[in-house]
Amino acid sequence: MAEIAKNLINGAWEEASGGKTFENRNPADISEMVGVVTKSDKTDVDKAVKAARGAFNEWRLSPAPKRAEILFKAGELLTKRKQELGELETREMGKILPEGLGDVQEAIDMLYYMAGEGRRLSGETIPSELPNKDCKSVRVPVGVCALITPWNFPIAIPAWKIMPALVCGNTVVFKPSNYTSLSAARLVEILHEAGLPRGVLNLVHGRGEEIGEHLALHPDIDCVSFTGSTAVGQKLAAACTEKGKKVSCEMGGKNAIIVMDDANLELAVEGAVWGGFGTSGQRCTAASRIVVHSDVHDKFLDMFAGAASRLKIGNGLLKNTDIGPVISSVQMEKVLNYIDIGKKEGARLVAGGKAYKEGNCARGYFIEPAIFSEVTPAMRIAQEEIFGPFVSVMKAKDLEEAIGIVNGTKYGLVASIYTQDVNKSAIAERDLDTGLVYVNASTIGSEVQLPFGGTKRSGFGHKEAGGRGGAIDMFTRWKVIYRDYSGRLQKAQIDR
Residues binding ligand NAD (CB under 6 A): 148-152, 157, 175-178, 207-209, 212-213, 216, 227-229, 232, 236, 250-253, 284, 385, 387, 413, 454, 458
Collect all residues with Cβ–Cβ distance below 8 Å to 491 and sequence separation of at least 6: none
What is the smallest separation between the CB atom of 15 and ligand NAD, expressed in angstroms?
19
361 carries an active-site annotation: no
Distances (CA, A) of 359 to 12, 169, 326, 366, 483: 44, 51, 17, 12, 73
Please choose, from the candidates 199, 216, 208, the residue with its C-alpha nearest in 3D space to the C-alpha of residue 50: 199
For ligand NAD, the closer CB: 145 or 413: 413
Give the containing element (helix H, strand E) for 115: helix 97-117
- In the complex, least distance from residue 343 CB atom to ligand NAD, rounded to whole angstroms: 24
Closest separation between CB of residue 326 and ligand NAD, Å?
11
Report d(CA 199, CA 51) in Å as an integer. 5
Nearest position to ligand NAD, beta carbon = 208
Residue (192 or 254) nearer to ligand NAD, CB:
254
Which backbone phi and psi does 452 adopt, to 5 degrees?
-135, 130
Q: Which is nearer to ligand NAD, 250 or 261 (CB)?
A: 250
- Give the β-pairing of 451-452 and 464-465: antiparallel
Q: How far is CA 467 from CA 121, 214, 372, 437, 471, in A?
A: 12, 32, 38, 16, 8
Which is closer to ligand NAD, CB of 209 or CB of 242? 209
Q: How far from chain centre, in Å, is Cα 430? A: 25
Q: Which one from 168, 223, 240, 284 is the annotated catalytic residue?
A: 284
Q: How many CB atoms lie within 10 A of CB 408?
A: 14
To the query of whether residue 250 is one of the catalytic residues in this protein, the response is yes
Select from 398, 381, 312, 302 the least CA-distant residue to 340: 381
The answer to whether 131 and 484 have CB atoms below 8 angstroms apart is: no
Of the pair 169, 388, the CB lying nearest ligand NAD is at 388
Name the minimum Å distance from CB 446 to ligand NAD.
9
- Residue with Cβ nearer ligand NAD (9 or 184): 184
Cβ contacts of 138 within 8 Å, gap of 6 or more:
123, 478, 479, 481
Where on the phi/psi map is residue 281: left (φ > 0), alpha (ψ -120 to 50), or beta?
Answer: left
Residue 384 DSSP one-character state: S
- In the bound state with ligand NAD, the residue whose beta carbon lies nearer, of 389 and 454, is 454
Query: Can you say how many angstroms the Cα of residue 34 is from the centroid of all Cα atoms in its chain?
Result: 23
46 versus 69: smaller Cβ distance to ligand NAD: 46
Residue 337 Cβ, how far from ligand NAD at the closest point, in Å?
16
Closest CA to 247 of 227, 262, 274, 261: 227
If you write DSSP's letter for every residue of 140-192 in order, what string do you get? Answer: EE--EEEEE--SSSTTHHHHHHHHHHHHTT-EEEEE--GGGHHHHHHHHHHHH
Q: Is the dihedral of CA 205, 209, 212, 214 positive or negative?
A: negative
3-state secondary structure of 403: helix
C-alpha dihedral, 92 to 94 to 98 to 103, nearest 10°? -60
Return the number of the residue (209 or 422) whose C-beta is nearest ligand NAD. Answer: 209
Select which of 117, 250, 385, 464 is catalytic. 250
Closest contact distance (angstroms) between CB of 232 and ligand NAD is 4
CA 187 from chain centre, in angstroms, equals 16
Residues whose CB falls within 8 Å of the CB of residue 69, separated by 6 or more in sequence, listed in order? 115, 118
User: Which residues are tagged catalytic?
Assistant: 250, 284
